[in-house]
């Protein structure tokens, strides 16, 4: 192309020096072609640089994602380790709770058994003392049993009537617990409560002992009726 430009001269070889050279049409086309080629090369270089920058950007993003992925992996591993530790701690605490619960239940059962045993022993002792006191009372007054009668001067009476007339509220209570019938009537047709009322009346009504007897018998009546 340069040869084309250099060969483009006006006139013959014998023309004078200083004569102006005018480019031919082919030379103009060549120059235009060069410019287009240069522009194309410049565009290619710019596009290449853009692609290079894009590749670098993507590479940087990939590196950043790789670092984030590695950090997330480490974090997930740490979380998994913590979860395993918490699960282990939970199992240990659950086992401790179950052990404490079993120990508490055993202690409660033992305490209940001892309490029940103590209650039975106390009841048995009270029953023995009551029977002993009742037997002594019956023997003292000539009765063979709590429901057995005896005759005194042609009159028939019962242990409960004798205790009620004497104002012995404690013995009245014990006789009833041993099976004496509070509705039992003597030969005059009176119950133990009526005998206690008559004895109280003979003393002018100011007799706490017979009042206690009446309270015991009245309480028994309320219990039978389902009252307080």
- In a domain? residue 131: no
Residue 188 CA to chain centroid, in angstroms? 69
Residue ending a domain, choose from 67, 98, 126: 126
Q: What is the average pLDDT value for the chain, to the nearest integer?
A: 85
pLDDT digits (tens, 9 = 90+) for 124-176: 999 999 999 999 999 999 999 999 999 888 899 999 999 999 999 999 999 99
- The residue segments making up the domain with residue 84 are 31-126
Q: Does 84 map to a domain? A: yes
Q: Do 109 and 164 fall within a single domain?
A: no
Residues 152 and 196 in one domain: yes
Handedness of CA 118, 121, 124, 130 (dihedral sign): negative
Residue 16 lies in a domain: no
**What's the pTM?**
0.52
Q: Identify whether residues 115 and 148 lie together within a single domain.
A: no
- C-alpha 117/C-alpha 101 separation (Å) is 24
Instruction: Say if CB 187 and CB 155 are below 8 A apart.
Output: yes
Residues 121 and 162 in one domain: no
In DSSP terms, 61 is beta-bridged to none
Whether the pLDDT of residue 8 is over 80: the answer is no
152 strand-pairing partners = 155
Q: Number of structural domains, the chain?
A: 2
Q: Which of 126, 151, 171 is the last residue of a domain?
A: 126
The last residue of one of the domains, among 126, 154, 187, is 126
Within a domain: 137: no
Give the pLDDT band of residue 205 (cuts 50, 70, 90): low
Same domain, 104 and 164: no
Helices (H), 13-158: 25-141
């Amino acid at each position: 192309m340069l040869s084309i430009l250099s060969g483009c001269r006006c006139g013959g070889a014998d023309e004078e020096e200083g004569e102006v050279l005018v480019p031919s049409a082919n030379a103009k086309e060549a120059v235009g072609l060069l410019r287009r080629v240069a522009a194309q090369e410049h565009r290619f270089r710019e596009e290449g640089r853009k692609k290079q920058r894009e590749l670098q950007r993507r590479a940087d993003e990939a590196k950043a994602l790789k670092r984030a992925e590695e950090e997330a992996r480490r974090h997930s591993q740490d979380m998994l380790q913590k979860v395993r530790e918490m699960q282990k701690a939970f199992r240990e605490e659950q086992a401790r709770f179950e052990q404490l619960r079993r120990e508490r239940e055993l202690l409660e059962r033992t305490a209940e058994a001892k309490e029940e045993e103590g209650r039975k022993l106390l009841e048995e002792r009270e029953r023995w003392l009551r029977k002993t006191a009742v037997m002594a009372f019956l023997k003292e007054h000539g009765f063979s049993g709590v429901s057995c009668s005896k005759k005194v001067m042609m009159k028939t009476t019962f242990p409960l009537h004798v205790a009620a007339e004497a104002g012995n509220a404690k013995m009245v209570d014990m006789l009833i617990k041993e099976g004496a019938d509070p509705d039992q009537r003597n030969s005059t047709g009176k119950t133990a409560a009526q005998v206690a009322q008559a004895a109280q009346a003979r003393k002018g009504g100011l007799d706490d002992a017979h009042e206690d007897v009446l309270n015991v018998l009245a309480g028994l009546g309320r219990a039978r009726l389902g009252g307080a």
